[in-house]
Chain A
Amino acid sequence: MTRPTPPALELREITAGYDRAAPVLRGVSLTVGEGEAVGLLGPSGCGKSTLAKVAALLHRPFAGTVHLGGAPARGFRHRAPRAQRTAVGVVFQQPRLAADPRLTLASLIAEPLRATGRRAEAAGRTEELARSVGLGGDLLARRPHEVSDGQLQRACLARALALRPRVLVCDEMTAMLDASTTAALVAVVEDYRERSGAALLAVGHDRTLLERWCDRTVEMAAGAEAGTALRSARRAPADTSAG
């Protein structure tokens, strides 16, 4: 299939994990087209979260390449060049593990702006971001322990959108949230994508949710539920084409 523009995100033959002798993923390929929303389904322990981290350049694979907008990733984690790192926004399942407990929600949202030297822009943009996720008033002055999971996740989503990413990776973003908050956060993501044309990789185990949310879903093979996560290795998505 030929495409006029390169895909927003392309994972080629990724082998990754935490132990070279027993990788969680082996040779997994996945493509997310420009502006496309792909849902990655699979049981817990199948390696889909590891794949999400690789896609967000937060985890260095043992083998394989990541391409963003056609350009190969030139590094992972702190070695990723800024332009590539900021092209991907990421939201995780557990906001409490992903948020510095000392920061107020306003500082949390502004973190990426300050880290990239956009202090001047930060104040106005923070308010705009906060409003887009439904946060306002004195909530922004609070610290994570003073807000609910849902409110904190809203702040984490706003943070992920701060640098206007071309690709958004949501790893079980709503797994801990109630139905209304889930629908609200998905609406925020979709609103952003509509305005920006950004692509989405939504990782999760809720088929009903991802099928409703995404253009298409990709399935990672179900592993044995027994035993430890690392034992359920050797995954390959059933559908690896760009659709």
Chain B
Amino acid sequence: MSQAPQKDGGSPGGRPLLSVRELSVRFRMSGGREIAAVSDVSFDLAPGECLALVGESGCGKSVLASALLGLLPRNAYVSGRALLSGPGARDALDLLAADEATLARTVRGRRVGLVPQSPAAHLTPVRTVRSQLAETVRELTGRKRGELAEATLAAAGRAAFPADHLDRYPHQLSGGLAQRAATALALVGDAPLLLADEPTTGLDRDLVERTVDELRAHTEDGCGLLIITHDLAAAERIADRVAVMYAGRVAELTAAADFFGSPGPRHPYARGLLDALPERAFAPIPGMPPELGDLPEGCAFAPRCARASDACATVPALTGGVACHHPVTATDTAQESGHDIATAPDTDGTPGAAGPYGTAGGDDADGTRQPEGSRA
């Protein structure tokens, strides 16, 4: 049995597998325009834990994944740290500072397995699944020709890819099987960190469930799973903790059971997102997310937020798992549910309070730097 996942909103105990601190990504556009795709994101991921990063398209969650893999375009400027621990203390590696050669040789596929968003695009169209899988097995495990066939079969089996479909080409596969082929490729290197970027887009509900269950199963061996998705039902199904992103920032980071169950989300945006589900109120959040190139001062959700006040003109720090000056409190929840719970402390006017990461919120992009090495 692996280390039990942390159930509160803070950073998990023990040594995290991945420790992200103040990660920011800026895109410099022509004409001097700057896009704040990711701002000040901090979180930890423990071995055996599943963290779901949720939010609407354009909230920065996929950019964050690309940053961790060193797959950002050239006009991206990254700051912060993303420490990936290894078996020994010396093996710890800052993914944001590593050069492309290191990432290509030792990280992608070996220490971080990527389950991609569009498996069809990830697979080579002119080669059969067997040949692609065999090549990856040879590359990552060094298996010799004699054992390769068997190892390939085993690799397919781990992602529940049917052996009788191994000789097919990607275009001959259904969406679900293409996804499993891509997952099989991601699992070959036995990477301790699995990063799944919208792995269920376009799949039927049963397949969504099967795909995420299979991904979750790999955490049983102590693997950490970071799943990026806009599918809240999928997140609810497998995540230990949930991080909700809005306009490039983490709005709320909390235990999945608290988030989807009781007391529910505390950030007004997170609450609105959950309420929009057809099995809940099916009510949209008014308005649309702001442009990442033209963010409002202060809290980016303020123009859409019913709880906004003057205090919201400063960016709220992530404090106790929620980045909001007026989070939905236990009292609010009690009014809905009829429970009588002590009022949660008011965080008004204390945006500088140290969060779980010991940092105050801020919108300071000055520390932005380009990591060493090419990002091509």
Q: Residue on B with the closest CB to A205?
A: B204
A179 touches B174 (CB 8 A): no
Looking at the assembled complex, report how far the CB atom of B222 sits from the nearest CB atom of chain A, in whole angstroms.
30
Taking beta carbons and an 8 Å cutoff, which residues of A are in contact with B? 43-45, 93, 134, 148-151, 175-184, 186-187, 205-209, 211-213, 225-229
B172 touches A228 (CB 8 A): yes
Q: Is B232 an interface position by the 8 A CB rule?
A: yes
Q: Which of B201, B206, B277 contacts A43 (CB 8 A)?
A: B206
Which residues of chain B in 142-162 are interfacial with respect to chain A, using CB atoms and an 8 Å cutoff?
Answer: 162
Please, how many angstroms separate the alpha-carbon atoms of A177 and B288 in the complex?
A: 13
A186 touches B201 (CB 8 A): no
Contact-size category for B: 35 or more
B284 touches A184 (CB 8 A): yes
Knowing A44-B174, A181-B56 touch, does A150 contact B273 (C-beta < 8 A)? no
Knowing A150-B288, A177-B57 touch, does A226 contact B165 (C-beta < 8 A)? yes
Knowing A148-B58, A177-B57, A178-B230 touch, does A208 contact B207 (C-beta < 8 A)? no
Please, how many angstroms separate the alpha-carbon atoms of A229 and B175 in the complex?
A: 9
B273 touches A44 (CB 8 A): no
Knowing A177-B57, A178-B57, A180-B56 touch, does A208 contact B279 (C-beta < 8 A)? yes
Please, how many angstroms separate the alpha-carbon atoms of A136 and B285 in the complex?
A: 17
B205 touches A225 (CB 8 A): no
Q: Is B83 an interface position by the 8 A CB rule?
A: no
A226 touches B177 (CB 8 A): yes
Which residues of chain B in 32-63 are interfacial with respect to chain A, using CB atoms and an 8 Å cutoff?
Answer: 55-58
Q: Is the interface of B mostly helix, strand, loop or mixed?
A: loop
Q: Is B365 an interface position by the 8 A CB rule?
A: no
**Beta-carbon contacts of B182-225 to A below 8 Å, as 1s and 0s?**
00000000000000000001111111000000000000000000
A178 touches B176 (CB 8 A): no
Knowing A178-B230, A207-B205 touch, does A186 contact B57 (C-beta < 8 A)? no
Residues of A with C-beta under 8 A to B69 = none
Please, how many angstroms separate the alpha-carbon atoms of A175 and B208 in the complex?
A: 12
Looking at the assembled complex, report how far the CB atom of B191 sits from the nearest CB atom of chain A, in whole angstroms.
27
Q: Which of B56, B162, B172, B174 contacts A150 (CB 8 A)?
A: B56
Residues of A with C-beta under 8 A to B176 = 225
Residues of A with C-beta under 8 A to B230 = 177-179
B174 touches A229 (CB 8 A): yes
Q: Residue on B with the closest CB to A209?
A: B278
Looking at the assembled complex, report how far the CB atom of A7 sits from the nearest CB atom of chain B, in whole angstroms.
26
The 3 residue pairs across chains A and B that have the minimum distance between CB atoms: A184-B284, A178-B56, A212-B278
Q: Residue on B with the closest CB to A135?
A: B288
Which residues of chain B in 258-302 are interfacial with respect to chain A, using CB atoms and an 8 Å cutoff?
Answer: 272-274, 276-279, 282-285, 287-289
Please, how many angstroms separate the alpha-carbon atoms of A206 and B207 in the complex?
A: 12
Knowing A205-B204, A225-B174 touch, does A180 contact B279 (C-beta < 8 A)? no
Residues of B with C-beta under 8 A to A44 = 174-175, 202-204
B232 touches A149 (CB 8 A): no
B287 touches A134 (CB 8 A): yes
* A to B CB contacts below 8 Å, 18 in the list: A134-B287, A148-B289, A175-B201, A176-B201, A176-B202, A178-B57, A179-B230, A179-B274, A179-B276, A180-B272, A205-B204, A205-B205, A225-B174, A225-B177, A226-B174, A226-B177, A227-B165, A228-B174
Knowing A208-B279, A228-B174 touch, does A180 contact B57 (C-beta < 8 A)? no
Residues of B with C-beta under 8 A to A178 = 55-57, 230, 273, 276
A183 touches B174 (CB 8 A): no
A45 touches B276 (CB 8 A): no
Knowing A45-B174, A150-B288 touch, does A183 contact B204 (C-beta < 8 A)? no
B57 touches A149 (CB 8 A): yes
Residues of A with C-beta under 8 A to B273 = 178-180
Knowing A150-B288, A177-B230, A187-B284 touch, does A182 contact B205 (C-beta < 8 A)? no
Residues of A with C-beta under 8 A to B165 = 226-227
Residues of B with C-beta under 8 A to A180 = 56, 272-273, 276, 284-285
Please, how many angstroms separate the alpha-carbon atoms of A227 and B176 in the complex?
A: 10
B274 touches A43 (CB 8 A): no
Looking at the assembled complex, report how far the CB atom of B193 sits from the nearest CB atom of chain A, in whole angstroms.
25
Residues of A with C-beta under 8 A to B203 = 44
Please, how many angstroms separate the alpha-carbon atoms of A66 and B233 in the complex?
A: 37
| Residue picked from B162, B165, B273, B276, most chain A C-beta under 10 Å | B276
Q: Residue on A with the closest CB to B289?
A: A148
Please, how many angstroms separate the alpha-carbon atoms of A211 and B278 in the complex?
A: 9
Q: Residue on A with the closest CB to B173?
A: A228
Q: Other than the known A178-B56, A184-B284, what 18 A-B pairs have Cβ atoms closer than 8 Å? A: A44-B203, A134-B287, A134-B288, A178-B273, A178-B276, A179-B230, A180-B56, A180-B273, A180-B284, A182-B276, A183-B277, A183-B284, A205-B205, A206-B205, A208-B279, A212-B282, A225-B176, A227-B174
Q: Which of A150, A206, A207, A226 contacts B57 (CB 8 A)?
A: A150
Q: Which of B205, B277, B289 contacts A179 (CB 8 A)?
A: B277
Please, how many angstroms separate the alpha-carbon atoms of A13 and B289 in the complex?
A: 45
Please, how many angstroms separate the alpha-carbon atoms of A166 and B176 in the complex?
A: 35
Please, how many angstroms separate the alpha-carbon atoms of A228 and B288 in the complex?
A: 38
Looking at the assembled complex, report how far the CB atom of A120 sits from the nearest CB atom of chain B, in whole angstroms.
30
Please, how many angstroms separate the alpha-carbon atoms of A52 and B105 in the complex?
A: 47
Q: Which of B56, B202, B278, B279 contacts A175 (CB 8 A)?
A: B202
Q: Residue on B with the closest CB to A213?
A: B278
Please, how many angstroms separate the alpha-carbon atoms of A45 and B289 in the complex?
A: 34
Knowing A184-B284, A225-B176 touch, does A179 contact B232 (C-beta < 8 A)? yes
